[in-house]
Chain A
Amino acid sequence: MASGYREAHKLLLALVPFLFLTDLSFWLFLPNTQLSLGQIIAVSNMRFINLFFTIAFFTRTTNLFRVMELMKKARVPEAIYLPTYVVLRFLPEIERDLQEIIAIQKIRGVSPRHPLRYLRAIFVPLLLTVFERSDQVSIAYYLRKKREQAG
């Protein structure tokens, strides 16, 4: 139970920069609003927190592959099914990559004490690995379609 609380605490801490950004964008795009600062923060943050926890709850409790199987059984057209599948199948892989990169940079001695350097050390390799994976998937898909067209 205690570890659950700790995890929730960590999640909330990770949210803080995003919350700040949403507040900022809300305030920038709605400069003539009648709302007070407190209300702006409340509204924009609640929106974001709702979204975040809904998605987190959905991905943690749902077997994504089961969802995909059902979509296939319900004969959802390929134009919808395939992009959804590609997005969903990448989520666990991205999570695994992220954990791997965090571990590697931790061993290397890049610490969150220098936040900019730390963010760069995490996100640059993550983006590169994700691009590599997406390239390969798109090549595989392209070749399959090409063969199908050839007959």
Chain B
Amino acid sequence: MLELKGLSISFGEKLAVKNFSLRAKEGERVAVIGGNGSGKTTIALFLAGIIPELIQARVEGKFQGGKKIGLVMQNPDSQFLSLTVRDELQGLQVHGLELGRLLGRNVFELSEGEKQKVNLVSNILNRCEILVLDEPLELLDPPEARRFMSVIQGIKGKTIIWLDKSDAFVKGWKKIFIDGIEKRALPGKKRCRAGRKVLDADFSFQKNGFALSRIKLELRDGEKVAVIGGNGSGKSTLLKAIAGALKVKGRISAAKRFSFAPQNPTNLFFEETVEAELFSQENAKALGITHLLKENPARMSKGQQKMASIAAIEPGTIALLDEPTTWLDEKNKRAVYGFINGSSQPMIIATHDKALLKYCSRAFMLEKGVLSECSGLRANRFFRAGRNRLKSRISS
């Protein structure tokens, strides 16, 4: 039995969580859904007991719950304390979670989804009573996310608290909304008129056993191109190589300069306010983040940083967007779709987000270091992979 009543958490002046209540019976699954900056991570850290003990904050409200709590965070990398999967699971036996073949491997060789699975299972095996999942799917590609979900669906007898931005993955769970989810219509597609050729790339890249071979890509002015592919297929490397940040064999001729919005927005900012980072305030207006202009990027939530990093692209350049919609809630996602749709800049967008393909004129698939133009059908197959498996698991 887990019960929270009227929880408010504040760091100094800033109120992070306001009057939040939650009730979960033993073995019940509860999804807590809220937008960017609504305090999901703060709630997760409070449930895990981190907040009053390790991080100081002013807490008000009633709390009653178990002591053994497991926490799975967004970033799969930084939660390991051991070298091999066997050590991480502390020699405990795994049944029916398809982890048998991973046991002897080094944790850093695993794919992102496998890492998250190991994090989850090591929490379960440590006999936690309550499992708190803080946006665990955020960095996984769609097939990996589905596989991870199938493991979650198979867990029995644990209270699960799932904190996320949308309810797409938690059909049939008890839901608690922190703030109302605003559902606006997707912006309609604007036909872009392709102008002269601005980018002509034909190159290959090789480093430390990782290779991109014979990448051919042409881009015309005003055109938007999507690049899809699984975790670790090299989408970020491709974008950096195109922008000239890596040494490649071959030729890349561009008529314009590049600007880059990285996957991890923390890597971009170094000024004291968002305003100082931006080239012009037009982008901030288009994205609807003018209220963030005076804030310090280091103190914003991940989603807010992401919005600011997209606003920081320079007008009149070739924009390279690396996963522009991760960490964003529904409202901000739509603002980004609208921004991409309304912009006249040529763009190359690496993404896991299926809805974004609608606003691109062409899509490419990056697989095993080869970039090939792909039809809507093939893209669909990529996004649907793993779905059948999920169904079979639930029915059995």
Contacts and interface: CB of A to CB of B under 8 A. Distances in A.
Interface of A: 65, 68-69, 72, 82, 85, 89, 93, 97, 100-104, 106-109, 120-121, 124-125, 128-129, 132-133, 136-144, 146-148, 150
Contacts of B77: 93, 133
Given A65-B106, A150-B68, A100 B267 contact: yes
**Top 10 closest A-B pairs, CB basis?**
A103-B245, A136-B78, A124-B270, A107-B260, A140-B79, A107-B243, A133-B78, A121-B270, A125-B267, A150-B67
Given A139-B48, A143-B69, A104 B54 contact: no
Contacts of B320: 107
B49 interface: yes
Contacts of B258: 107
A144 B262 contact: no
A125 B266 contact: yes
Nearest to A145: B81
Nearest to A146: B49
Interface string B233-256: 000000010011110000000000
B83 A69 contact: yes
Given A104-B268, A136-B73, A147-B70, 11 more contacts: A68-B83, A72-B83, A100-B267, A103-B245, A104-B267, A107-B240, A107-B258, A108-B260, A108-B268, A128-B266, A128-B298
Contacts of A137: 78-79, 81
A144 to B, nearest CB: 7
Contacts of B68: 147, 150
A107 B268 contact: no
27 contacts: A65-B106, A72-B83, A82-B81, A97-B267, A103-B246, A104-B260, A104-B267, A107-B260, A120-B270, A121-B270, A124-B270, A124-B298, A125-B267, A128-B266, A129-B264, A129-B267, A132-B266, A136-B73, A136-B75, A139-B45, A139-B71, A139-B73, A140-B71, A143-B50, A144-B126, A147-B126, A147-B127
A129 B260 contact: no
B264 A143 contact: no
Interface in B85-143: 87, 106, 126-128
B383 interface: no
Contacts of A140: 71, 73, 78-81
The binding surface of chain B is classed by DSSP as loop
Nearest to B269: A125
Given A139-B50, A140-B79, A107 B267 contact: no
B259 interface: yes
Interface of B: 45, 48-50, 54, 67-71, 73, 75, 77-81, 83, 87, 106, 126-128, 240, 243-246, 257-260, 262, 264, 266-270, 298, 320
A136 B245 CA distance: 29
Nearest to B268: A104
Nearest to B305: A128
Contacts of A138: 54
A72 B50 CA distance: 29
Contacts of B54: 138-139, 142
B70 A143 contact: yes
A104 B236 CA distance: 11
Of B78, B80, B240, B259, chain A has the most CB atoms within 10 Å of the CB of B78
A65 B83 contact: yes
Contacts of B45: 139
Of A65, A93, A109, A125, chain B has the most CB atoms within 10 Å of the CB of A125
Given A139-B48, A147-B128, A100 B78 contact: no
A143 B48 contact: yes
A101 to B, nearest CB: 5
B394 to A, nearest CB: 29
A66 to B, nearest CB: 10
Contacts of A107: 240, 243-245, 258-260, 320
A108 B309 CA distance: 12
A102 to B, nearest CB: 8
A125 B268 contact: yes
Contacts of B264: 100, 129
Contacts of A124: 269-270, 298
Contacts of B244: 106-107
Contacts of B262: 100, 104
Contacts of A136: 73, 75, 78-79
Contact of B50 (A93, A97, A142): A142
A129 B266 contact: yes
Nearest to B132: A143
Contacts of A121: 270
A147 B67 CA distance: 8
Contacts of A148: 126
B322 to A, nearest CB: 10
Of B48, B68, B257, chain A has the most CB atoms within 10 Å of the CB of B68
